[in-house]
Structure 1
Amino acid sequence: MQGECLVMLRCSHILCKVDDIQTAVSDYTELGFTMTWGSRPGKAHNALLWFGSGPFVEFFELPSRAAALRWPVGLCFGAAAGRRIADWARPGEGWRDVALETDDLDLRAAHTELKALMPVSRVMKGRRTRPDGQVVRYQFLAPGPAELPFVVSSYDPPQRPLDIVHANGATGIAKVHMTVAPADRAAYDAMIAGDPWLLPVPGERTGVVGVELAGTTASLDPAKLHGAQLVGAS
């Protein structure tokens, strides 16, 4: 593989799977974070930890039986998408994925660029309804292998809240620590050129291993982090 994606991609957010989203939101609120529900509280399957700028964290709940969607999703959108769903659904809590974003609402240009470099799913369209009733639309695609970051469009309309204050002093994500397997390194480098947040090191498997916060040195109770390796700046 040679070359790199000419569409600018940067870290959008980090995904953490939890067993119970209600409990996770309660625990992170106790830790001093301001949490935002992805949809109506009580029925939401995801919640967002925003900062004033830079990447955010998405917590999501997904039953292990959803792994069976690997085959129909793979048939409809490509094997890379099917494998990713299965990985998201595997048992246990903790980091599951990294999303890269573009400034575009349409991913056709990113799809064309990435398809020339690696296997990639079809462009998929998503939507959700916020607690205030606003409908949010976006697109995403999944490169292969599934351990690589996936790509999302800009949200329509934009979703970052204007004023974000966390009681524990956190102001943003300083670094996303990742390991990258040797077999994935060329594809990883082709997707990501000089991202200021992602800090890759060689490892046996590609994936997130920890997230470092800026603005706080608060000690976060591991029992309330739901598998996320999340630490204040040292």
Structure 2
Amino acid sequence: MLRCSHVLCRVEDIGSTVSSFTDLGFSMEWGSVPGKAHNAFIWFAEGPFIEFFEFPSSLERLRWPVSAAFGRGMGDRLAKWAADGDGWRDVALETEDTDLTDTRARLKAGGLVVSRRFRNSRTRPDGRRVRYQLVAPSPAALPFVVSAYDPPQRPEAITHANGATGVTAVHFGLRPEHLPDYDRLVGPDPWLRPRVSAVTGVLEVELAGLATSLDPASTCGAALVPARPVQKQEPR
């Protein structure tokens, strides 16, 4: 069963992003060696984490070669990540498996158009190699699927000076035409809060323990707000 793994925010400068969020009281973890890394994370003890990634807009030119190799869903996803500007850019759904072969087959059997598996890896600051796989549904506005990390990545202890303890809700907008495919892809999820919207994508993220909403000017356009009292899920 798929569940919300993490929320992705595209940034123009990963170095300044890490500095800004550190100043805001978050404990940041580099994806690889500082100075060479193109991503960084805000981890929590459980539940979804937040990834910030620097992705040059020039990579958009690879859209069609990637589509030819892995399917339209992956090529369109790459173009989505490469589009100019900071801010929320995607949501990842995860499995408990390190291989997505069965998950991909199940999604296709359910009527979704999905890319081929894309195998990737990165080297952590401590030198350990992390491997994972991606599958990208179409349209690219939908969340994508990531395997379990090999080896697992969540730190044993995470403390944030600003008091944040975890993601309680990821508000995800859906244009009406995307509702059927979203429902095929995403089942009941403790963190995702879908609702009909003029755009499909992440709208804002609620954080437990956060005292006040953070100024988007200081968060690369990512809307981060304190957790609200639990309410019934909004009708779609």
TM-score bucket of the superposed structures, by smaller chain: over 0.9
Is structure 2 residue 8 aligned with structure 1 residue 15? yes
Is structure 2 residue 128 aligned with structure 1 residue 130? no
Match for 1:68 among 61, 65, 70?
61
Q: Which residue of 1 aligns with 2:234?
A: none
Q: Give the Å deviation of 1:142.
A: 0.1
Q: Give the Å deviation of 1:14.
A: 0.5
Q: Which residue of 2 aligns with 1:37?
A: 30
Q: Which residue of 1 aligns with 2:231?
A: none
Q: TM-score, normalised by structure 2?
A: 0.94
Kindly provide the CA deviation profile for residues 108-160 of structure 1, in whole angstroms up to 9, marking residues without a partner as x.
11100111211100011010000000000001110001111000000000000
Q: Which residue of 2 aligns with 1:86?
A: 79
Match for 2:136 among 106, 119, 142?
142
Q: Which residue of 2 aligns with 1:153?
A: 147
Q: Give the Å deviation of 1:221.
A: 3.2
- Structure 2 CA distance for aligned equivalents of residues 104 and 219 of structure 1: 35
- Structure 1 CA distance for aligned equivalents of residues 82 and 61 of structure 2: 9
Q: Which residue of 2 aligns with 1:206?
A: 200
Amino acid at match of 1:61: E
Q: Secondary structure at the match of 1:23?
A: helix
Q: Secondary structure at the match of 1:42?
A: coil
Q: Which residue of 1 aligns with 2:49?
A: 56
Q: Give the Å deviation of 1:219.
A: 4.2
Q: TM-score, normalised by structure 1?
A: 0.95
Q: Which residue of 2 aligns with 1:190?
A: 184
Q: Is the CA contact (8 Å cut-off) linking 2:74 and 2:135 kept in structure 1?
A: yes
Q: Which moved more, 1:161-170 or 1:111-120?
A: 111-120
- Structure 1 CA distance for aligned equivalents of residues 108 and 10 of structure 2: 28
Q: Which residue of 1 aligns with 2:108?
A: 115
- Structure 2 CA distance for aligned equivalents of residues 200 and 182 of structure 1: 11
Q: Is the CA contact (8 Å cut-off) linking 1:168 and 1:218 kept in structure 2?
A: no
Runs of 5+ consecutive residues of structure 2 not aligned to the other structure: 229-236
Q: Which runs of 4+ in 1 moved over 6 A?
A: none
Is structure 2 residue 220 aligned with structure 1 residue 226? yes
Q: Is the CA contact (8 Å cut-off) linking 2:116 and 2:135 kept in structure 1?
A: yes
Q: Which residue of 2 aligns with 1:3?
A: none
Kindly provide the CA deviation profile for residues 192-234 of structure 1, in whole angstroms up to 9, marking residues without a partner as x.
1110100011112211010010112134233210010111224
Amino acid at match of 2:191: W
Q: Which residue of 1 aligns with 2:19?
A: 26
Number of residues of Structure 1 aligned to a counterpart in Structure 2? 227
- Structure 2 CA distance for aligned equivalents of residues 154 and 62 of structure 1: 22
Q: CA RMSD in A?
A: 0.9
- Structure 1 CA distance for aligned equivalents of residues 217 and 185 of structure 2: 34
Q: Is the CA contact (8 Å cut-off) linking 2:213 and 2:224 kept in structure 1?
A: no
Q: Is the CA contact (8 Å cut-off) linking 2:9 and 2:86 kept in structure 1?
A: yes
Runs of 5+ consecutive residues of structure 1 not aligned to the other structure: 1-7
Q: Which residue of 2 aligns with 1:4?
A: none
Amino acid at match of 2:21: Y
Q: Which residue of 1 aligns with 2:233?
A: none
